[in-house]
Amino acid sequence: MSEAKRSLNFIEQIIEEDLTNGLSKDNLRFRFPPEPNGYLHIGHTKAIGISFGLGEYYNAPVNLRFDDTNPAKEEQEYVDAIKKDVAWLGYKWEKEVFSSDYFQQLYDWAILLINKGKAYIDSQTSEAMAEQKGTPTQPGVDGPYRNRSVKENLDLFARMKAGEFNEGEHILRAKIDMKHVNMLMRDPIMYRVLKKEHHRTANDWCIYPMYDWTHGESDYIEQISHSLCSLEFKPHRALYDWFLDQVVDPSKIRPKQREFARLNLSYTIMSKRKLLKLVNEGIVKGWDDPRMPTISGLRRRGYTPNAIRKFVHTVGVAKRDNMIDVSLLEFCIREDLNKIAPRVMAVLNPVKLLITNYPDDKVEWLEAENNPEDVSAGSRKIPFSRELYIEKDDFKEIAGSKFFRLKLGGEVRLKNAYIIKANNVVKDSSGNITEIQCTYSEDTARSIKGTLHWVSIAHAVKAEVREYDRLFTDETPDSHQDIDFMTFVNPNSLKTINAFVEPSLKESQVGDRFQFQRLGYFNVDDDSNTNNLIFNKTVGLRDTWAKIKPQQNTNKPQKKQVQQSKRPAIEQIKSYGKKYDRMQDEQREKAKAEIKELAKNVSYEDLEPLFGTAVKKAGTRIITMISLGVLLNSGLEKNEDISNFIAKALEDKNALLVEEAKAIS
């Protein structure tokens, strides 16, 4: 399509470069390598979208590889769930493979390394080894077993495999460099003894390879050309390459690891461990609870694969940390559902409406369009009668001119039906409205500002509607070092509503998606059946009326501001300099006061470099002048540099600068 001018992300640029440097397009191959220790979540969709997206773009194969090297945490249940989720997203993998498929090859290569003197058996406790490892700022030291003979290493390793040792007694380490600046290169562990049953290899092995030893070699075995992962693996790249160096055949494809920034979504957590905690502690009903950011949760909530793929694409790929607003996800799902979801009517919070001039026993089946965005969706019939439900929110006895809904003496259109006028209300003893009395008019051609949805009471079907709010009340629940993420759990994330829906919904099936007109998008929950209809609210409609109404819950924590206040005073002052000379008078006064306050925490050494600021950058020179004034006031002696700076400013053509200079000269 319009690919020609499309700008490439940095990974695509790397691939294009490799292609122009002689890599054959046929050799392009990718992989998505989840560990089967939990369910996939929205964060994974980025990694999936990148690798599988590349596969689609270049028409190259993509393997689905389960990185199952730790039998203590991995289960078949997760393998099945992951396959289901990836397939549901609409991606097709070339091969389904497992790291455990390569256990024998990995073992053989390990022996090769031992023979080359590049690996040895260490027999210390993990504490002793950790101590020798040093810290990021301190080099490590060699351990006592580092120079064991090849023969002894071979013998010990064979006996490890044979199950002669208990967990923790011996491990196999690569022999690299205990003083390396990269801690991962300080003789990393390749194999440990683990007497656990593996979900695929059962008890065939009692030694298991570590991630670093496994990953690059697996990529190489599969001849993956580009191995894409998230940024936290950047430090592993050196080791990835080192392990590859030991076994690589130059005539074959040598995989390249490249890293991108992972996806962060506001108000949600992405850690599998923490997600598991929500499940285990019963905060949610399971991995597929519609409030969960898991793919299965989103699916149950009513999200479409299209919407999620669109979202991932829109988010883009780069290397800087990001925090994506949930509103973008919501936009993507609305956009998709708007095109495909049939429109129906449902009342969630009912109040009775009586049409006094409509015959008691009359029922009309009125024509209703199924989807204005899609004429081929056709139409259906809905029943209209004397007694209806409308939303409580859609009626007010007295209201201003901005209220387009029903008020006493006012007129409104009932969607797909007639125009009505409210004449009277009936209230109970405590003043609640129990009935609104109206008259209707069959002249529907008139133009009327408001249109309401409704259901006929006699025909309405009862249904349970589950409305969800965000699971956490904080924008970044798991990034507070002193506060546990569980304290931000929103106690009101689920609201169960007894609603009334139009009769055509009686036959709806699990998974069906609808737009409840004027309310939002809903789908039929997995728990639903014909006798007990249950809907999930996927997402509300965009609601400009809600913005007009006064709100209380929208004060977002201003992250940027918080960060800014932690910056050194001089940095904050500098950022004022950029715009100072362009500010409105009032703003400028405020800024000036702020600068004077900040300047109290600034030393002369901080300020001095700014004296050299280019002439054209008047703003910076002004804020420097103001800060200098504060310093002089608190006892700083004038020196030659200061005098020169002031003298030069006095001759400047910027009036503000001259003014500030005069003030302190």
Partner RNA sequence: UGGCCUAUGGUGUAACUGGUAACACGUUUGUUUUUGGUACAAAAGAGUAUAGGUUCGAGACCUAUUGGGCCAACCA
- Residues numbered 339-368 forming contacts with RNA, rule: CB under 7 A: 343
- In the set 2, 7, 430, 531, which binds RNA (CB under 7 A)? 7
Contact 110, 157 (CB under 8 A): yes
Structure-token match 């991606």, residue found: 91
φ, ψ of residue 5 to 5 degrees: the values are -100, -5
Handedness of CA 477, 478, 484, 486 (dihedral sign): positive
- Using alpha carbons, select from 341, 358, 355, 346 the residue that is nearest to residue 459: 346
Contact string 166-185 vs RNA (x = CB under 7 A): -xxx-x---------xxxx-
Reply yes or no on whether 549 is catalytic: no
Structure-token match 């003894």, residue found: 193
Contact string 488-517 vs RNA (x = CB under 7 A): ---------------------------x-x
Give all strands (DSSP E) within 329-432, no chain letters.
343-344, 346-347, 350-355, 364-369, 379-384, 387-391, 395-396, 406-407, 411-414, 419-427
Structure-token match 């209806």, residue found: 388
The string of DSSP letters for 531-562 reads TB-EEEEEEEPP-HHHHHS--SS-----HHHH
Q: According to the binding rule CB under 7 A, does residue 474 interact with RNA?
A: no
26-45 binders of RNA (CB under 7 A): 33, 35
Q: According to the binding rule CB under 7 A, does residue 596 interact with RNA?
A: no
393-422 binders of RNA (CB under 7 A): 402-405, 413, 415-417
CA distance 493 to 506: 27
Token pair of 552, please? 């209380």
237-296 binders of RNA (CB under 7 A): 261
Q: According to the binding rule CB under 7 A, does residue 575 interact with RNA?
A: yes
Contact 283, 313 (CB under 8 A): no
Q: Give the pairing type, strands 433-441 and 419-427.
A: antiparallel
Shortest distance, CB of residue 620 to RNA, whole angstroms? 4
136-155 binders of RNA (CB under 7 A): 136-137
- In the set 30, 32, 220, 233, which binds RNA (CB under 7 A)? 233
Shortest distance, CB of residue 631 to RNA, whole angstroms? 17
Shortest distance, CB of residue 609 to RNA, whole angstroms? 5
- In the set 208, 220, 267, 454, which binds RNA (CB under 7 A)? 208
- In the set 25, 567, 590, 638, which binds RNA (CB under 7 A)? 567
Q: Give the pairing type, strands 171-174 and 119-122.
A: antiparallel
- Measure CA 79 to chain center: 22
Piece of the chain touching RNA by CB under 7 A; list 69-77, 145-153, 456-464, 490-498: 69-77
643-662 binders of RNA (CB under 7 A): none
Residues in the interface with RNA (CB under 7 A) total 110
Piece of the chain touching RNA by CB under 7 A; list 85-93, 121-129, 432-440, 653-661: 121-129
CA distance 314 to 333: 12
Classify residue 312 as exposed, middle or buried by CB count within 10 Å of its CB (0-12, 13-18, 19+). Answer: buried
Catalytic residue among 46, 186, 256, 272: 272
Amino acid identity for residue 322 in this structure: N
- In the set 116, 480, 582, 600, which binds RNA (CB under 7 A)? 582
Piece of the chain touching RNA by CB under 7 A; list 66-74, 87-95, 595-603, 655-663: 66-74
Reply yes or no on whether 605 is catalytic: no
- In the set 2, 20, 135, 280, which binds RNA (CB under 7 A)? 135
Reply yes or no on whether 179 is catalytic: no
Structure-token match 């390598």, residue found: 33
CA distance 629 to 625: 6
Catalytic residue among 35, 56, 435, 464: 35
607-646 binders of RNA (CB under 7 A): 609-610, 612-614, 616-617, 619-620
- CB of 172 or CB of 534, closer to RNA: 172
- In the set 179, 364, 381, 545, which binds RNA (CB under 7 A)? 545
Hey, which residues are catalytic here? Answer: 35, 262, 272
